Amino acid sequence: MPPPSRFSTKRLIVDVIRFQPGETLTEILETPATSEQEAEHQRAMQRRAIRDAKTPDKMKKSKSVKEDSNLTLQEKKEKIQTGLKKLTELGTVDPKNKYQELINDIARDIRNQRRYRQRRKAELVKLQQTYAALNSKATFYGEQVDYYKSYIKTCLDNLASKGKVSKKPREMKGKKSKKISLKYTAARLHEKGVLLEIEDLQVNQFKNVIFEISPTEEVGDFEVKAKFMGVQMETFMLHYQDLLQLQYEGVAVMKLFDRAKVNVNLLIFLLNKKFYGK
């Protein structure tokens, strides 16, 4: 088995001095561990193994680290001595000063780890605060959306009521309430600028297409039917609130039936004029 590297040796030293303190590293390595120290060390290594088992694969400790965790305190000290011998031969440590360079190096590592953990803790607190603030904003904006939906519905109800009241009494007398239905040829809507194009259909064929727009029982919803040369083709449910949202977002063009492109602003203008008396 090759001798442990400088990094591995430092890691083993940290493991040992946690459970067997002493004045110098040399003293610790030369003094046998007590049974209590060995037992405490074993319990700590078992807890470490349990934590590692729950860690994602990419973050798990290396095989050599796992193998070292299975060693007793005495076995770790023997491995440390092998590593120190190799490092002494390389001239990177000096046994005459009781390996003080290595101890200083370990102390720096511990300080850096502490600073790193403190930074991570501060970052975690900041992330938690940001998350809480975003949740609060999401709740606020959700409530705002509900408010505006309610407000728009109230406006639509009022507009619909206004449209009904504006009818002349004599026009309504003796007649059952009937919903207004608009019929336009595609050519007429094209002239008004509402209809921009119909895919796979020439403009000279627009006269053969009829659009019928009818309000539904739900205020602000319209049923749009398309006929080609008198034959019913498709039906599209148009939501006035969706049009207002598109207008708010600056969307100028939308599709009906996945084929007909219409001008959003002019379509809103047409609906306002014909159904809401604006």
pLDDT in tens, 73-123: 999 999 999 999 999 999 888 888 888 888 889 889 889 988 998 999 999
Give the pairing type, strands 195-198 and 231-239.
unpaired
Where along the chain do its domains lie?
Answer: 6-122, 178-275
Q: Which of 213, 261, 219, 266 is nearest to 235 (CA)?
A: 213
Q: Which of 36, 35, 60, 34 is nearest to 48 (CA)?
A: 60
Contact criterion met (CB below 8 Å) for 27 and 20: no
| The pLDDT of residue 278 is above 90 | no
pLDDT tier at 141, thresholds 50, 70, 90 = confident
Tokens 């019913």, residue located = 232
pLDDT tier at 257, thresholds 50, 70, 90 = confident
Q: Which two tokens stand for residue 188?
A: 């007429």
pLDDT in tens, 187-237: 999 999 999 999 888 999 999 999 999 998 887 889 999 998 888 888 999
265: three-class secondary structure by DSSP: helix
pLDDT value, residue 167: 46
pLDDT value, residue 176: 44
Residue range 263-268: average pLDDT? 92
Residues across the chain: 278
Contact criterion met (CB below 8 Å) for 243 and 222: no
Residue range 25-31: average pLDDT? 90
| The pLDDT of residue 124 is above 50 | yes
Find the range with the poorest average confidence among 29-38, 157-166, 230-239. 157-166
**Which H or E run includes 127?**
helix 100-165
DSSP for residue 21: -
Q: Which of 57, 83, 54 is nearest to 68 (CA)?
A: 83
Largest CA distance in the chain: 117
Report helix, strand and coil shares of the chain as percent, to nearest 5. Answer: 65, 15, 25
pTM (predicted TM-score): 0.43
